[in-house]
Amino acid sequence: MDGNFLQMAIVGYGGMGAYHVNLAHASERIRVKGAFDINASRLRLALSHGLVAYPSFDALLDDKDVALVLIATPNDVHKALAIRALEAGKHVICEKPVTLTTLEFQEVLAVAEKVGRVFMVHQNRRWDDDYLIVRRLQQDKSIGEIFHLESRVQGANGIPGDWRHSPAQGGGMVLDWGVHLLDQLLLLDRSEINRVYASLSYALGHEVDDGFTAHITFTSGLTAHIEVGTTNYIKLPRWYVKGTEGTALIADWDLSGYVVAPDRQAEVTDPLPIQAGVGLTKTMAPPNEDAVVTWPLPKPLSPRVGFYDNVAEVILDGAEPMVKNAEVLRVMNLMAAIFTSWHERRAVENIDRLI
Q: Are 69 and 92 in contact (CB under 8 A)?
A: yes
Rounded to whole angstroms, the Cα distance separating 244 from 143 reads: 6
Q: Do 153 and 15 share a structural domain?
A: no
Sign, CA dihedral 324-327-331-337, equals positive
More confident residue, 351 or 129: 129
pLDDT digits (tens, 9 = 90+) for 278-327: 999 988 887 877 789 999 999 999 998 999 999 999 999 999 999 999 99
What pLDDT does residue 2 have? 55
Rounded to whole angstroms, the Cα distance separating 198 from 347 reads: 8
Q: Is residue 23 part of a domain?
A: yes
Q: Do 182 and 112 share a structural domain?
A: no
Output the DSSP codes for 218-274: ETTS-EEEEEEESS-SSPPPSEEEEETTEEEEE-STT--EEEEEE-TTSPP-PPPPE
- Rounded-to-10 torsion of CA 285, 286, 290, 291: 90
Say yes or no to pLDDT of 266 above 90: no
**Omega cis (within 30) before 97:** yes
**Phi, psi at 39, each rounded to 5°:** -95, 120
What pLDDT does residue 38 have? 96
**Percent over 70 (pLDDT), the chain:** 99
Q: Is residue 264 part of a domain?
A: no
pLDDT band at 101 (very low <50, low <70, confident <90, very high): very high
pLDDT band at 352 (very low <50, low <70, confident <90, very high): confident
- Which among 122, 156, 181 is the end of a domain? 122
Query: Which amino acid type is present at position 299?
Result: K
Say yes or no to pLDDT of 343 above 60: yes
Q: Is residue 262 part of a domain?
A: no
Q: Do 44 and 15 share a structural domain?
A: yes
Q: Do 114 and 216 share a structural domain?
A: no
Q: Do 238 and 138 share a structural domain?
A: yes
What pLDDT does residue 291 have? 84
- Which among 79, 105, 122 is the end of a domain? 122
Q: Is residue 155 part of a domain?
A: yes
Q: Is residue 314 part of a domain?
A: no
Say yes or no to pLDDT of 53 above 60: yes
Q: Structural domain tally of the chain?
A: 2
Rounded to whole angstroms, the Cα distance separating 19 from 318 reads: 26
Say yes or no to pLDDT of 3 above 70: no
**Chain centroid, CA 154 distance in Å:** 15
Rounded to whole angstroms, the Cα distance separating 195 from 199 reads: 14
- Residues contacting residue 263 through CB under 8 Å, at least 6 positions apart: 290, 291, 292, 293
- 293: helix, coil or strand? strand
Check which CATH number belongs to the domain holding 53 and give it.
3.40.50.720
**Phi, psi at 185, each rounded to 5°:** -60, -45
Q: Do 108 and 10 share a structural domain?
A: yes
Say yes or no to pLDDT of 353 above 80: no
Q: Is residue 59 part of a domain?
A: yes
Say yes or no to pLDDT of 55 above 60: yes
What pLDDT does residue 349 have? 95
What pLDDT does residue 355 have? 60
Q: Is residue 282 part of a domain?
A: no
Q: Are 101 and 124 in contact (CB under 8 A)?
A: no
What pLDDT does residue 5 have? 83
Stretch 53-79: mean pLDDT, rounded?
97
Q: Do 114 and 181 share a structural domain?
A: no
What pLDDT does residue 250 have? 98
- Which among 90, 122, 154 is the end of a domain? 122
Strand pairing category for 68-71 and 91-95: parallel
Angle between helical axes of 325-344 and 179-188 (0-180°, round to 10): 120
Check which CATH number belongs to the domain holding 201 and give it.
3.30.360.10
Say yes or no to pLDDT of 62 above 60: yes
What pLDDT does residue 289 have? 76
Q: Is residue 113 part of a domain?
A: yes
Query: What average pLDDT does the chain have?
Result: 95
CA distances, 289 to each of 29, 66, 222, 269 (Å): 54, 62, 29, 11
Q: Do 339 and 213 share a structural domain?
A: yes
Q: Do 232 and 155 share a structural domain?
A: yes
Strand pairing category for 91-95 and 292-295: unpaired
Q: What angle do CA 187, 179, 106 make, to 5 degrees?
A: 85
Stretch 252-260: mean pLDDT, rounded?
97
Q: Do 249 and 145 share a structural domain?
A: yes
Q: Do 165 and 104 share a structural domain?
A: no
**Phi, psi at 198, each rounded to 5°:** -130, 155
Rounded to whole angstroms, the Cα distance separating 241 from 227 reads: 14
**Phi, psi at 141, each rounded to 5°:** 55, 35
What pLDDT does residue 230 have? 98
Query: Which amino acid type is present at position 232?
Result: N
Say yes or no to pLDDT of 354 above 80: no
User: Residue 201: which domain range?
Assistant: 126-255+297-302+334-349
Q: Are 239 and 151 in contact (CB under 8 A)?
A: yes
Q: Do 340 and 214 share a structural domain?
A: yes
More confident residue, 5 or 228: 228
Sign, CA dihedral 211-190-97-80, equals negative
